[in-house]
């Protein structure tokens, strides 16, 4: 039977982040955690999946940086997407407006920056 919730340390391992980063994400609202009777953080399996993002499409790229969309700024045909990856780094990608619309990117969504050669691609 699949797990329905994770301890903070289990969730951090599943997300590939440190426990300190998980705590910061909880305090800042990037992650939704509940508390148990002993006031320990409990993270639902659905929240871990949301933050992990989908990985349905397989790419040959190995430089995948998962994170949370901080902002999306659309100007004409282009859009600037800022993704907060493992603290304190961010990746900024300039993509087409259509790509942002097609991916349905909005602040707070889980997304990945895929770095391949000189290009940065976004996936959700």
Of residues 50 and 71, more confidently modeled: 71
63-123 topology per CATH: OB fold (Dihydrolipoamide Acetyltransferase, E2P) (2.40.50)
Three-state DSSP class for 92? strand
Distance CA 124, CA 42 (A): 24
What pLDDT is recorded for position 69? 86
* DSSP codes, 25-56: HHHHTSS--EE-TTS-EEEEHHHHHHHH----
Distance CA 81, CA 79 (A): 6
Query: For residue 79, what are the β-bridge partners?
Result: 74, 95
Q: What is the pTM of this model?
A: 0.46
Which DSSP symbol is given to 118?
Answer: T
pLDDT band at residue 87 using 50, 70 and 90 as cut-offs: low
Question: 108 — phi, psi (to 5°)?
Answer: 95, -15
> What is the radius of gyration, based on Cα positions, of the chain?
15
Residue 33 Ramachandran class (φ > 0 left, ψ -120 to 50 alpha, else beta): beta
Q: Domain limits of the chain?
A: 5-52, 63-123
Q: Mean pLDDT, the chain, as a whole number? A: 83
CA neighbor of 47 nearest in space, from 64, 27, 32:
32
5-52 topology per CATH: Multidrug-efflux Transporter Regulator; Chain: A; Domain 2 (1.10.1660)
Distance of CA 86 to the CA centre of its chain: 9
Task: For 51-79, write each residue's pLDDT tens digit.
Answer: 876 554 555 555 677 788 889 999 999 99
């Amino acid at each position: 039977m699949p797990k329905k919730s994770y301890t903070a340390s289990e969730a951090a391992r599943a997300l590939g982040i440190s426990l300190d980063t998980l705590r910061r994400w909880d305090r800042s609202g990037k992650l939704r955690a509940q508390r148990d009777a002993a006031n320990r953080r409990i993270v639902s399996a659905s929240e871990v999946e949301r933050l992990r993002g989908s990985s349905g499409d397989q790419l040959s790229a190995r430089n995948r940086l998962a994170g949370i969309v901080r902002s999306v700024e659309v100007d004409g045909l282009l859009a600037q997407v800022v993704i907060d990856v493992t603290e304190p780094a961010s990746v900024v990608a300039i993509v087409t407006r259509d790509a942002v619309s097609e991916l349905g990117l909005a602040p707070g969504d889980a997304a990945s920056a895929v770095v391949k050669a000189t290009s940065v691609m976004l996936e959700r």
